[in-house]
Amino acid sequence: MSGSMIPGRNNYLMSRTLRHYLLAAVMTLLSQQLVCITDAVVLGNFVSSEAMSSINVLNPLLSLIATFYICIGGGASIRFSRMIGRRDYMGAKSVFSVAVLTLGLGGLLMAVPLMLLGGGITKLLCSDGTISALSNEYLFIYALGLPFLFVNFIMASSISAEGKPKAVSKVTLLANLLNAALDILFVCILDWGIQGAALATTLCNFFMVLMYWRIIRRFENSYSLLDGKGRYKEHLVESAREGMPGFTNNIIGSFVFYLLNTVILTALGTEGINIWSVCMQVYIIVLLVVSGMNSASITIGGLLYGENDMKGLSMLHTLVFKLWLVPLAVLVFLTLLWPGAFLAMFGASPQMYEAGAERALRIFALSFVPLSFVMLQIPFLQILKHYSLAVYASSTPFILGLAGAYVCSLISPEALWWGFPLAFALLCSSLWISMFLIHLKKPGVSALTLIPKQDERKILDMSVPYDMDGLSGILDAITEFLKDNGVEGAKANTSILITEELVVNIIRFASKNRENQRFDLRMSVTSDSDGQRTVITSIHDDGKAFDPTLNLEEEERKPVLDRKLGLRIINKMGSEIIYKYMYGQNTVIVKVK
């Protein structure tokens, strides 16, 4: 094999895929969370600390509401990504359609009782009369936007999975700017108070639905509405099963948040609740970055799992954790050194400082490290179908956090805040131990990730430099691989010729003259029940969008000099050629049967 040929696979394209998606995902979630943060900043500074706390008091209820769209929408997103990875576009359309219809109808059915019964619900959530009254005012308007909020979730995740995360990012950024402008108009200028903030959020969600629908109508995507194909119940059940970890997490979280508010209010009074509200706002900053990473993990990881690319999935896991180290270190450092800056941002009162708000925020920041590890691991557990462990990892933080806070409050009210870092450290340790025990039972999986090791004998996996001198080495490796897997004769020759034509095109025309630039080539051999072998070749490169599939009838009508002779040949030879441009990369799948 040529010396310029790199054996195995490097992380050049995986890193670019993650960064391409991650930037858009984090920007999307940043924009979404800034809607909440903007509401908190405006209400804390222009209304009162109690107004900001009234939104935090609603967290148990809002978390309970979110269980529905996270269960159905989150599960549908995972299934959608897997189907895109398998190139099952009709299945993806059906999953998307069922999720949109279910979530839209569910949002309507939830809105009415919340508007009618909101007063009684908010009194149960908080015994403070001022805060509960403000919560009711916010909830009444917020409920109007639930159908839009629910549908936004599945639209955004599906558009991103189909390869257009930047489009989602642009929509959410525009929506956030709209929300900020409406907050200023309704709250600061028109003096509509907390109802103005709720109205701004509702209009923001409505705007996002319109923009996402425009994207769906504009582009030829892998989804369409009203395309359930008579499998409504099947898709609904399967999506709910996939979304069960998120469902369990939010159900338990709803009740635990309620109990946490009660514990804090009992131990530290109203100022304690106000301090807790600021802690939660800082936690939201952590959550938006982690959620961006998780969104990337679910989408890209689902595609890799659908392609049975365990090596790529392992690379993704490593990159996700490495990328999170820097923002985590920066956020913890800033919180420990300058907690007053965060308190001032959210309009903390002098009484909150006197009640020890800075000390509480410093202690709470210690929770971010162990909690982040657990949260980043959850999507990989879901992708790999370790459902029980995913449910445990997603639901236990709330339970342990409540237990820790309660026990520490019995020692001393001010010690309550130590319950969070201690509880999350215990959770992180228990998850590590559980994963190690699974590894012992299944030696073929990694102890740190639970990702199965890829069988190198059955899969040829390489990163190829942009160098024609290495072409003979690539073809030799393919020939040897096919022979080892029992593929010879015409089928082997066809696979080699098609791969050679595609590789030559990429080397000649897709180079960006980067020193470390590589494109990935992956080949596998499958057998059906009759022993008939199929050679599947996938090639990924980050050059300009280029579709090698041709309409042969149209090609024949062109002048001879304008015809793409090499591509004409491989389109006639290959049993099936599939092309997709996703995450800034060309993906070509060739199946030779």
Predicted pLDDT at 1: 38
Read off the pTM: 0.68
pLDDT tens-place string over residues 527-583? 877 778 888 888 888 888 887 775 545 545 455 444 455 566 666 666 688 888 777
The answer to whether 573 and 499 have CB atoms below 8 angstroms apart is no
**Is residue 477 over pLDDT 80?**
yes
User: What is the C-alpha radius of gyration for the chain, rounded to an integer number of angstroms?
Assistant: 26
Whether the pLDDT of residue 117 is over 50: the answer is: yes
> In this prediction, what percent of the chain has a pLDDT beyond 70?
88
**CA angle (112, 117, 121) in 5-degree steps:** 125
**Could you say which DSSP state residue 539 is in?**
E
- Please write the tens of the pLDDT for every residue from 402-457: 899 999 999 999 899 999 999 999 999 999 999 999 999 988 899 889 999 877 77
Q: If we measure between CA atoms, which residue out of 119, 404, 135, 365 comes closest to residue 267?
A: 404
Cβ neighbours, 10 Å, residue 202: 20
Residues 513-527 have pLDDT tens digits of 777 888 999 998 888
Q: What is the pLDDT of residues 217-275, one digit of tens each?
A: 776 555 555 554 557 777 777 777 777 766 776 677 777 778 888 899 889 988 888 88
pLDDT of 435: 93
Cβ-based neighbour number of residue 176 at 10 Å: 22
Region 352-362: what's the mean pLDDT? Answer: 90
Number of other residues whose CB lies within 10 A of the CB of residue 298? 24
pLDDT of 4 strictly over 50: no
